[in-house]
Amino acid sequence: MPSPAPVAPALDSSGPSRSGLLFAIGSYVLWGFLPVYFIALAPTGPVEVVAWRILLSVVFCALIMTVARTWKPFLALLRDRRVVFTMGLAGALIFVNWQTYVYAAMTDQVVEAALGYFINPIVTVFLGVLVLRERLTTTQWVAVGISLVAVLVLAIGYGQLPWIALLLAFSFGVYGLIKKRVGPRVDAVSGLTLETLWLAPVAGVQLAVVAATTGLTMGTAGGWHTTLLLSAGAVTAIPLILFAAASRRLPLTQMGFIQYFAPFIQFVVGVFVLGEPMPLERWIGFALVWVALVILTFDLVRGARAARRAVVEPA
């Protein structure tokens, strides 16, 4: 899923950027179909998939920086210890997020993974209160309250807390807070490179463990499988780069609407393509989450319009 980098205002204030919309839609549609890619990697297990994803992302990012000739600013980042260690913490969180997401996709739990990214905006608002001491409007509190009821309903429906959804939402939410601390100093490719460099030793250990137990699948399940597995770096980096390009061209409200493309596609894939069960309790829980998102989005749009009026109107 996306790296929640700060969203800059649109470059053209007279209307939406067409290229920005295309970049944003492209990134979220690719993320939406990501479960299909991971399922196609069978018989490779989640641990091996994530390990290759990390190592091949390092290679792919290195190629991008070589082509774009951006090694110099990247090497300059390495001299900033605060940024380097902050990105290490971000890497740890994205590792948890990736491992959980790939596990969910490869164990027929795509619907719960989609739930995690549906509730992520609400979790982000909640973390803003808890960590940044931000104050919520009454409307935002209503959205948070409805989402908590939704989690309770889903817990009853699942017979346990939807831990995959919660782990995805909170790991990505905290990841977003950390990324905001480094701000525009770290672009998408440099950020992913730093994060995956920190994780490379972990990936090496994972591959060693898999090799010593069940055995590595790279190169053993046919040419098509090997090609798909070798594409893990590109599959990880390309949507992230598109997202970064979109965030520089679109305002927050437009990015906020488009971000729901990914979990919606995942939900459709899980329910209607993979045939995952959706008993009544889950439909009610998802409906409550969607109501909360509508309320939150309404508040976001209303706030953005009020801010624009305050800028336009004379003092």
pTM for the complete prediction?
Answer: 0.85
User: How large is the average pLDDT for residues 156-184?
Assistant: 86
User: How large is the average pLDDT for residues 235-239?
Assistant: 91
Contact 116, 169 (CB under 8 A): yes
Q: Other CB atoms closer than 10 Å to residue 291's CB: what's the count?
A: 16
For 42-64, the pLDDT digits (tens) are: 999 999 999 999 999 999 999 99
Greater model confidence, 187 or 203: 203
Q: Measuring CA to CA, how many Å separate 195 from each of 27, 109, 232? A: 20, 26, 16
Cα separation of 150 and 144, whole Å?
A: 10
Tokens for 273, please give them.
């393509």
Cα separation of 84 and 212, whole Å?
A: 32
pLDDT category, 3, cuts 50, 70, 90? very low
User: How large is the average pLDDT for residues 206-235?
Assistant: 95
Q: Measuring CA to CA, how many Å separate 92 from each of 130, 171, 175? A: 21, 9, 9
pLDDT at 230: 95
For 267-293, the pLDDT digits (tens) are: 999 999 999 999 898 899 999 999 988
Cα separation of 100 and 161, whole Å?
A: 15
pLDDT at 313: 60
Greater model confidence, 248 or 201: 201
Contact 109, 164 (CB under 8 A): yes
The maximal CA–CA distance of the chain, rounded, in angstroms, is: 70
Q: To the nearest whole number, what is the mean pLDDT of the chain?
A: 86
Q: Other CB atoms closer than 10 Å to residue 125's CB: what's the count?
A: 22
Cα separation of 99 and 58, whole Å?
A: 17
